[in-house]
Amino acid sequence: MLTVIDLRGRTPSTSELRRTLPRGGTDVNSVLPTVAPIVGDIRHRGVTAALEYGERFDHVRPGSMKVPAEVIDRAVEALDPTVRTALEEAITRVRKVHAGQKPDTHTTELGPGATVTEVFLPVQRVGLYVPGGKAVYPSSVIMNVVPAQAAGASSLVVASPPQADHDGWPHPTILAACGLLGVDEVWAVGGSQAVALLAYGDDEADLEPVDMITGPGNIFVTAAKRLVQGTVGIDAEAGPSEIAILADSTADPVYLAYDLISQAEHDDLAASVLITDSEELATRVDAEIDARYTVTRNADRVAGALSGRQSGIVLVDDLETGIAVTDAYAAEHLEIHTADAREVAGRIRNAGAIFVGPYSPVPLGDYAAGSNHVLPTSGTARFSAGLSTHTFLRPVNLIEYDKPALQEIGGHVIALADAEDLPAHGESIRARFETLPTQDEN
């Protein structure tokens, strides 16, 4: 089922690998002309426009944009006990990991009376988008809400599409997850209109705009995030889900087959890539996939993803080349199935998250490993990080010099200001230690 790319017998350059490796992705530019008028309309007409677009696209109009507290409470009460227990355990683990990510304030002393202190200030108001299309994602609620709370954001709003099957409110499992996390502001709006409304708000409807928008979504959501970036911050322009597995002959082909299938289940555009120096393993994994994927309820979606140009098997000569290929691919999710998986994982430089060994599969990270599942896609892990507590924090420097400390460094500041032909900068320093002439005195 998987296309084979044979790189054996040569050492491909980074440029060649970027052209050769399986890669899908979406063309966000292609939908900007469609999305831009929607964003512009909502910027000017607010909730009225958002509800009109929601009715057109989702075929449902909620009773109000804000989900009433009693609707959220009912969703929590009606939640299946098994699901509730699982969500609570996931929340506990994700909270523990993200609490540990918060950096401490620290001060650097550059001399007597001269200090620079770095503090970390939270984004004040955060908008968290949770999709509601092909699947229900309470896990996305956890992964977006918890790091924002750990950072200390003062207010949070979750936006999720209204559902015709649920009285025009977001899916009750989404609402229940919000309730368990203590989120009491939820907007029943989806798609690009949700992103626009989060960015611009509506004073008449008492919808306060946010400072930052995070969360996954389809190509229209991504396009809207691009359009409002600058007005608000965004986490990333996320593409379809992807997994890469770096494996040698010691790997279990059944484990690998199921892990590749599991990510293909997300979307027809999802990417599943196996990188290995074992042709025998590659053959066995492909056979196991073919024998097993039809068992899953989402077999058609899996088949579409695994047979697409974004998925495949990459054969390499040895583990060293495999590591180089893996770094060039820069997977959103990377699994390591080798004889010394921990050592190999320590040599990887480009991945959104690295899952080490046979008992750390990607689905663990999707739900309850404690790590975050919102990760960079489409090779952007070479320069971007996944969602974390850091995402919602802004490092700010507090510069504090007393008079002797400024006097000590002042000559250097004046010299550099003169070198840049900005004499007023130097005069700002001099005015503190000498009386400068006025225009009349010159």
Asked whether residue 193 is marked as a ligand-binding residue, the answer is yes
**Residue 122: strand pairing partners:** 393
44 is in an annotated binding site: no
Match 């597995």 to its residue by tokens: 245
Q: 279 an active-site residue?
A: no
Look up residue 295 and give its two tokens.
Answer: 């068992």
Q: How far apart are CA 41 and CA 23, in angstroms?
A: 35
Angle at Cα 373 formed by Cα 370 and Cα 374, nearest 5°?
135
Residue type, 357: G
Q: Is 163 annotated as a binding residue?
A: no
Q: According to the annotation, is 202 in a ligand binding site?
A: no
Does the annotation flag 106 for ligand binding?
no
Q: Is 237 annotated as a binding residue?
A: no
* β-pairing verdict for 393-401 and 114-122: antiparallel
98 assigned to a ligand binding site: no
Kindly name the residue from 333, 337, 373, 390 that is annotated as catalytic: 333
Binding site annotation covers 218? Answer: yes
Q: Is 366 annotated as a binding residue?
A: yes
Enumerate the H helices of 152-298 as residue ranges.
172-181, 191-200, 219-228, 253-264, 279-292
Give the pair of three-digit tokens for residue 102.
């918060």
Q: CA distances (Å), 99 to each of 149, 185, 246, 352, 389, in order?
A: 9, 23, 31, 20, 8
| Integer Cα distance of 388 and 146 in angstroms | 9
Q: Pick the catalytic residue: 332, 335, 337, 373? A: 332
Cα–Cα distances in Å, from 389 out to 102, 145, 152, 264, 334?
6, 10, 9, 28, 21
Residue 200 annotated as lining a ligand binding site = no
Whether 332 is catalytic? yes
Longest Cα–Cα distance of the chain, Å, equals 92
Neighbour tally for 431: CB within 10 Å: 11
Q: In angstroms, how far is CA 95 from the centroid of its own chain?
A: 17
* Cα dihedral across residues 196, 198, 199, 203: positive or negative: positive
Provide the annotated binding site for Zn(2+): 263, 266, 366, 425
Provide the annotated binding site for substrate: 241, 263, 266, 333, 366, 420, 425
Provide the annotated binding site for NAD(+): 129, 193, 218
Provide the annotated binding site: 129, 193, 218, 241, 263, 266, 333, 366, 420, 425
List, by residue number, the catalytic residues.
332-333
